[in-house]
A and B are shown apart, each in its own frame.
Chain A
């Protein structure tokens, strides 16, 4: 006995239109992107950037499990980046220790700021994270010991700056981080967070300490963002505060939404596709972000479940066709 809601049927009808458009879109994307890709080392760097942002976007998914949306993910990446840069340059920490400690630092700051902020819910919480996203990086930019406006330069690079090794390192890092996050979501903790997002009153009536779980989610998400930010800073060899501002936060949210907010693999698919589209359209110059925006709008209108929901909608279409045949 399975019912199909009106909403689901609407989605399917819309995605039907999208599927007709899909081949043209792919063709357009390939025409613009592929010439840029051929024979350029630059693509290794692009993929490393994408992988770092992918980890952050998956972290955002953990926060979203509890029904929150956060504009501070990029800022937590920045905390990780600054933390690692300072530890390596000023205190001569080994790179691996710096990455982990910087991530823990980001998580601690996230939880400490979360204690007052997580009293709020939904859009109101979201607004406080926006404040965090702008403010925390500004703190680093205003002191000379953290490099001021120009940031921290000449950080000893990961693996001596060899891009190929770095790419493999980032792939391994992303796989490990995403596997850990997968486990986090698919055990009791994840289910509890989903329950809180559906009704915090009911969850409380069952003995769930809502604030504890939300802080846990924020802390874990910030930890992974911190790892991504720290690793990227050590790969890049420099940290500039402005890179971790609101633009990065918005990109991470875009990756998350375009990929699909209801699937675990949404942020992963989203960051891969949108990242490649954005970097691949560099030949368009300052118009490049518009192509990403076109993708965002198309997905928002035609595929509300995000790119990761394509297999699901196709399966729904096939089931629909089957049941029509039977009837």
Chain B
């Protein structure tokens, strides 16, 4: 039963050292196609490092990252990873602050190469068609996430919750197969958390994007199918989201009893 979907992202013995500090220790994990996978762990567990390793911002010390069963993306550059279909958001959520909401999403479409540079410069028919497509896709995304009413507001003037959502919308515009969300609930109030979780679930169910969520807020368990928990760079749990609540080791790490040395 577990293997009915193919694996979208798999890491084998992924290790990252900064000098003598081991932040990621031989991590094996896999994200199956069509699921929402949670990567949980307390602060400093190596969650963001994992993100940066997969998206090519950091190079792993050893180990392999396999995408879509066949492609080895261990040494790919960030823009190459993005073009293969891995969209991501950022923990600190940098936005194109001077662009409006619409322009932010539109920019994400620009950035995916449709037309060649001469085509763009000479304003050929292909480029104009692409432009129309991009505008339509932008409209769809705005409608999908209920953001149409704020499309002309500058990104830097948005409230925090909407800025986070815009980060997600922009990652969505890259048309990813796998969407990686880095702490999408960070700094949100309960209402915003509820709203965002619903939006993420909707993306997974209606568009069929596989999603990997990095989070330390346990509320994401409500929407996750499978969960991996890491602490100090080591995997301590792998299983479904129902099992994780009862796991003794996870409870120990999260709710005390662990000796920090």
Contacts and interface: CB of A to CB of B under 8 A. Distances in A.
A203 B121 contact: no
Given A3-B153, A191-B107, A216-B117, A202 B170 contact: yes
Residues of B in contact with A, size category:
35 or more
B241 to A, nearest CB: 27
Contact of A208 (B79, B90, B152): B79
A207 B117 contact: no
Interface stretch (B58-66, B91-99, B215-223): B91-99
A207 B113 contact: yes
B97 A192 contact: no
**B90, B108, B110, B112 — which one has the most chain A CB atoms within 10 A of its CB?**
B110
B223 to A, nearest CB: 23
A187 B123 CA distance: 9
B96 A206 contact: no
Contacts of B57: 201, 204
Interface stretch (B7-15, B17-25, B81-89): B81-89
Contacts of A68: none
Nearest to B154: A3
Given A1-B153, A188-B120, A198-B97, A205 B78 contact: yes
B150 interface: yes
Nearest to B114: A188
A104 to B, nearest CB: 16
Given A207-B79, A207-B82, A192 B117 contact: no
A208 B170 CA distance: 14
B121 A206 contact: no
B82 A198 contact: no
A184 interface: yes
A37 to B, nearest CB: 39
A209 B83 CA distance: 10
A183 interface: yes
B117 to A, nearest CB: 7
B78 A204 contact: yes
Contacts of A46: none
A212 to B, nearest CB: 9
Majority-rule SS of A interface residues: helix
Contacts of A188: 110, 115, 120, 127, 131
A189 interface: yes
Interface string A183-200: 110011101101100110
A89 B189 CA distance: 73
Interface string B46-66: 000000000101000000000
Contacts of B127: 187-188
Contacts of A194: 96, 98-99
B174 interface: yes
Nearest to B131: A188
A184 B123 CA distance: 11
B164 to A, nearest CB: 14
Contacts of A184: 121
A206 B153 contact: no
Interface string B144-163: 00000010111011000000
B179 to A, nearest CB: 11
Contacts of B103: 191
Contacts of A207: 79, 82-83, 111-113, 174
B134 to A, nearest CB: 9
B171 interface: yes
B55 to A, nearest CB: 7
Contacts of B117: 189, 216
A202 B150 CA distance: 21
A210 interface: yes
Given A188-B110, A192-B111, A216-B117, A202 B153 contact: no
A320 B131 CA distance: 36
A5 interface: yes
B82 A187 contact: no
A201 B90 contact: yes
Contacts of A1: 150, 152-153
B147 to A, nearest CB: 13
A195 B170 contact: no
Contacts of A199: 94-96
A216 B107 CA distance: 18
Nearest to A216: B117
Nearest to B173: A206
A204 B52 CA distance: 12
B83 A202 contact: no
Nearest to B92: A201
18 contacts: A1-B152, A2-B152, A3-B154, A3-B157, A184-B121, A188-B120, A189-B121, A191-B107, A191-B110, A195-B96, A198-B97, A202-B94, A205-B78, A206-B108, A206-B111, A206-B174, A209-B77, A216-B117
The 7 residue pairs across chains A and B that have the minimum distance between CB atoms: A204-B78, A207-B82, A206-B111, A199-B94, A207-B83, A3-B157, A208-B111
